[in-house]
Amino acid sequence: MHDIPYMRPNDGVGPEITAAMTRVALAVRETVPNVPCGVQILAGCNKEALAVAKVCQLQFIRAEGFVFGHIADEGFTDACAGTLLRYRKQIDAYDVLVITDIKKKHSSHAITADVSIAETAHAAEFFLSDGLIITGSSTGSSAELSDLQALHGKTTLPLIIGSGLTLENLPSYWKLANAAIVGSHFKIKGNWNADLCRKRVQAFMNGVDTLRRQLPS
């Protein structure tokens, strides 16, 4: 995330980036051999991420621009479902799940303003996504409750909160999603650019445990 400014795949993302991410992913895989792991390579380098996941025995990738084009801060991001899933077949990576952002953060969706998030989700499902990631407008911004409510129970795919989940708003989002990607909240003072804070991680997981104990047995 610190390798800024980001480049799009069509801009000539170099092999050194894929090589470096492979080295990092292998180190993570060796450290936590029995925990499901995934990878994302910014910005929208989904084929490269699939290749890394394949050789590092990771379980999933996070893919941008799966369905419907949009304008991101690094430029236009086009839909890629067709080419990406054909590439997954080409490298025999069927065991790598492709989890996809819809109406993603740091992007303008004016060109698809007449397409609801529910329609976007259905398109991703039709194009064989393995899961849907719902985000706020930027890193650390909470996903809209209304977006999750519009999708809850309306798709067969897992719903994943992709930004802005905190210990404070966790109870409100708890029953609307199947999983969450938590980053900024785990950092010192909730700043994505800071170091991890063990106390914040532990407090959040304690909150998760409390909510789990409230579930019917």
Q: What is the pLDDT of residues 109-153, one digit of tens each?
A: 888 889 999 999 999 999 999 999 998 777 767 788 898 999 998
Judge whether 173 lies within some domain: no
Amino acid identity of 103? K
Q: Are 91 and 54 in contact (CB under 8 A)?
A: yes
Task: Tell me: pLDDT of 77 over 90.
Answer: no
Domain extent at residue 121 = 9-134
When divided into structural domains, the chain yields a total of 1
Is the CB of residue 174 less than 8 Å from the CB of residue 180? no
- Look up residue 85 and give its amino acid: L
Q: How far is CA 45 from the centre of its chain?
A: 13
User: Do the domain assignments include residue 205?
Assistant: no
pLDDT for res 132: 97
User: Is 215 within a domain?
Assistant: no
What contacts 24+ positions apart, CB below 8 Å, involve 120-126? 120/67, 120/68, 121/151, 121/154, 121/155, 121/157, 122/155, 123/67, 123/68, 124/66, 124/67, 124/81, 124/100, 124/157, 125/155, 125/156, 125/157
Q: Is the pLDDT of residue 196 over 90?
A: yes
Q: What's the pTM? A: 0.89
pLDDT band at 202 (very low <50, low <70, confident <90, very high): very high
Q: Is 207 in a helix, a strand, or coil? A: helix
Binned at pLDDT 50, 70 and 90, residue 217 comes out as low
pLDDT tens string 162-173: 988 999 999 988
Q: What local confidence, expressed as pLDDT, does residue 121 receive?
A: 95
Calpha distance 59→38 (Å, rounded): 6
The count of other CB atoms within 10 Å of the CB of residue 55 is: 14
Distance separating alpha carbons of residues 88 and 100, to the nearest angstrom: 14
Give pLDDT, residue 43.
85
Structure confidence by residue, pLDDT tens digits, 31-62: 999 999 999 998 889 999 999 999 999 999 99
Assigned domain for 168 exists: no
Is 161 inside a domain boundary? no
| Percent of all residues in the chain with a pLDDT value above 90, rounded to a whole number | 62
Map tokens 């991101």 to a residue: 72
Query: Which residues lie across from 61 on neighbouring strands?
Result: 39, 98
- CATH number of the domain at 130, please: 3.20.20
Residue type at 64?
Answer: E
